[in-house]
Structure 1
Amino acid sequence: MFDSIIKEFKKDDKIKLLTKGKYDTYIGITSTKVNGKSYDKAILFEISKTNKKRITSEFIELTYNYYKENNNCFPKRDWYETHKELSHEYKSRPCNYAVAQGLINKVLTSKNN
């Protein structure tokens, strides 16, 4: 899914969030650290002109795996809070919950058109 996202999105594309009419802005590929662990594959996005965040490929991939395994339903927030690999990223970046869904939904919508 991560590879499909980076093919689908271009710099300054809008990432549609769960709240109607709300968007973040896709910037590009980057690396990041979460809880002292380095991730080479991440996406940089902009919440506002003064606030940029990152989401790891692992967060995206595990969210997408859950979606496929659970009748095309995304996980609830408590799944992230207790997830062995994702709880630290979710704790420091709770907005990634909505960003992951926005990125994945855009790719799925494009594939169906």
Structure 2
Amino acid sequence: MNYRKVMEEHLGRKLVKGEIVHHIDKNRENNDISNLMLFPTKEAHTRYHYEQGDLTGIAGSNRKILVDGKLLCCRCAVFKELKDFIIDSKAQYGVRGVCKECYKIGRRKS
């Protein structure tokens, strides 16, 4: 049975748009309810993986990571406000993945 259906059966309702069903043991074939966790949002799921120190389970983990409205700088690995990043209208979230501070440091080195 599909893992989303297993969770719906367990909850006694349909999943709400945006809810994420997570496999605890990372085995997507193991759809036992004891192996499934429900997150209300993608952000909550991302936060869980970040707190576990494991970003491999995040869909698109090679993309920018936004948690609680803060973005993870790809150089210094610190969560910062979006205003602390270089504006780039073509980029995801409208900013580059490196914060202004790290960008300045990188420019001085080159």
- The TM-score, its normalising length taken from structure 1, stands at 0.25
Select the structure that is richer in helix. 1
Select the structure that is richer in strand. 1
Bigger CA radius of gyration: 2
